[in-house]
């Protein structure tokens, strides 16, 4: 038995073994920290490093042999890798960020190329504080390295991603017909109350990240992102955050949008959106990364539909270096009423349809 598996958890893995043997499972939100990238960040960045140092301390975040040893317990379990937080634009200025992105993407591509039987592909990182470089790096990573999409965050050093200055990246990804992975970001310095400077009890993470994702999704919708780019594919992390739970407010509450706003602030409720907000929000894709919450996954399936939800765990965060995340998510899905075809869509077919434009990520071809 692998030493990373605690005895008390082994029966959980065994329970899912047959399901894993019978079905390819692609985990679409898995994080990795290339060592060369980590070293370069340490060399050039003056930003606080707690999150990056924490990631460096997780063995399966940086050691391919340990990652594979854990993954090999699940016969047909595969991953799509993305760079771990913080965002590159947080770690470096506009001059140095492009180099960091290049090192990160080269490192991700290297492990995918080395272990094609376990890694379907990787998601490129782009320096969003230097948009021209971000566009160039996204194209390089996709066309030369075989990236299957691009990861962006819910804000760019505090700036909303629906600003016109970021439209060229959305345009590029629509043109390339590959998805954007949308990941939340917020720190302890984002206070929960106006009278405080910092967020207590990690509320900035446990609730703040869900809010961040939901705000970014809604702002993009009201900015008309899907009217501008009808084929744009955006994968919102964490089971669609709070959007499914707010379905009624979004559907009926916004029918009277503007009635709650005084005349002096009417500009704050002006939008170019051509369809109902609730319908535009359903255009997003999402994942099952919810720490094994059956209710969250069911809500995501109800709101976005089976064709727009994909398997993910946030591995290797969580219990036992990500093992618990895999087990708990499988356990939750096992108890949800889905037929064989729906399970196949959820586990692998949906994501393969999203990334199929990129021939380099076809199964076994890396």
Per-residue pLDDT tens for 99-143? 999 999 999 999 999 999 999 999 999 999 999 999 999 999 999
d(CA 324, CA 146) in angstroms, rounded, equals 30
DSSP state of 318: S
Indicate whether 364 belongs to any domain. Answer: no
CA distances from 253 to 175, 250, 282 (A): 34, 6, 17
Per-residue pLDDT tens for 229-268? 999 999 999 999 999 999 999 999 888 888 899 999 999 9
Pick the more confident residue, 22 or 357.
22
DSSP state of 34: -
CA distances from 68 to 28, 71, 219, 233, 293 (A): 16, 5, 39, 30, 26
CATH of the domain at 280: 3.20.20.140
Q: What average pLDDT does the chain have?
A: 91
82 touches 33 (CB < 8 A) = no
247 touches 278 (CB < 8 A) = yes
Q: What does 226-280 look like in DSSP terms, one character per residue?
A: HHH-TT--EEETTTTTTTGGGHHHHHTGGGGTTTTS-GGGGGGG-----S-HHHH
Indicate whether 134 belongs to any domain. Answer: yes
Indicate whether 362 belongs to any domain. Answer: no
Name residues whose C-beta falls within 8 Å of residue 148's C-beta, 6 or more positions apart in sequence. Answer: 80, 120, 121, 122, 123, 142, 178, 179, 355, 358, 361
Name residues whose C-beta falls within 8 Å of residue 38's C-beta, 6 or more positions apart in sequence. Answer: 52, 56, 62
Q: What is the predicted pLDDT for the residue at 357?
A: 61
Indicate whether 313 belongs to any domain. Answer: yes
Q: Is the pLDDT assigned to residue 151 strictly greater than 90?
A: yes
Q: How confident is the model at residue 18 (pLDDT cuts 50, 70, 90)?
A: low
Looking at the structure of the chain, the number of domains it has is: 1
228 touches 173 (CB < 8 A) = no
Q: How confident is the model at residue 12 (pLDDT cuts 50, 70, 90)?
A: very low
Q: What is the predicted pLDDT for the residue at 364?
A: 37
Indicate whether 2 belongs to any domain. Answer: no
Indicate whether 365 belongs to any domain. Answer: no
Average pLDDT over residues 267-274: 92
Report the b/e string of 267-296 with b at 16+ CB within 10 A: eeeeeeeeeebbebbbbbbbbbbbbbbbeb
Domain range enclosing 195? 7-357
Indicate whether 224 belongs to any domain. Answer: yes
Q: What is the predicted pLDDT for the residue at 254?
A: 87
Indicate whether 309 belongs to any domain. Answer: yes
Per-residue pLDDT tens for 291-316? 999 999 999 999 999 999 999 999 99
Average pLDDT over residues 36-60: 89
Phi, psi of 326 (to 5 degrees): -65, -50
Q: Is the pLDDT assigned to residue 21 strictly greater than 70?
A: no
């Amino acid at each position: 038995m692998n030493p990373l598996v605690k005895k008390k958890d082994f029966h959980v893995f065994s329970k899912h073994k047959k399901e894993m043997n019978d079905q390819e499972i692609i985990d679409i939100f898995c994080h990795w920290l290339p060592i060369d990238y980590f070293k370069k960040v340490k060399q050039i960045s003056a930003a606080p490093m707690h999150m990056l140092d924490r990631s460096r301390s997780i063995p399966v975040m940086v050691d391919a042999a340990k990652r594979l040893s854990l993954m090999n317990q699940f016969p047909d379990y595969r991953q799509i890798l993305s760079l771990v937080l913080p965002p590159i634009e947080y770690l470096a200025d506009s001059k140095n960020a492009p180099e960091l992105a290049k090192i990160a993407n080269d490192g991700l591509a290297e492990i995918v190329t080395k272990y094609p039987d376990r890694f379907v592909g990787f998601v490129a990182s782009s320096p969003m504080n230097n948009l021209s470089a971000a566009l160039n790096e996204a194209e390089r990573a996709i066309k030369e390295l075989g990236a299957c999409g691009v990861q962006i965050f819910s804000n760019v050093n505090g700036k909303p991603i629906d600003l016109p200055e970021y439209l060229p990246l959305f345009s590029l990804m629509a043109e390339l017909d590959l998805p954007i992975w949308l990941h939340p970001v917020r720190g302890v310095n984002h206070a929960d109350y106006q009278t405080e400077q910092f967020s207590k009890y990690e509320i900035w993470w446990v609730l703040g990240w869900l809010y961040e994702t939901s705000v970014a999704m809604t702002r993009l919708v009201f900015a008309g992102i899907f009217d501008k780019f009808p084929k744009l594919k955006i994968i919102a992390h964490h089971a669609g955050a709070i959007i499914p739970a707010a379905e009624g407010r979004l559907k009926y509450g916004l029918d009277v949008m503007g009635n709650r706003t005084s005349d002096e602030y009417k500009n704050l409720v002006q939008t170019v959106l051509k369809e109902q907000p609730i319908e535009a929000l359903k255009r997003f894709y999402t994942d099952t990364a919810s720490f094994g919450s059956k209710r969250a996954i069911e809500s995501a399936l109800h709101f976005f539909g089976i064709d727009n939800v994909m398997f993910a765990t946030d591995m290797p965060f969580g219990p036992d270096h990500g093992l618990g995340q895999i087990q708990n998510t499988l356990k939750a899905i096992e108890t949800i009423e889905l037929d064989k075809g729906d399970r196949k869509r959820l586990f692998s077919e949906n994501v393969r349809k999203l990334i199929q434009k990129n021939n380099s990520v076809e199964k076994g071809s890396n």
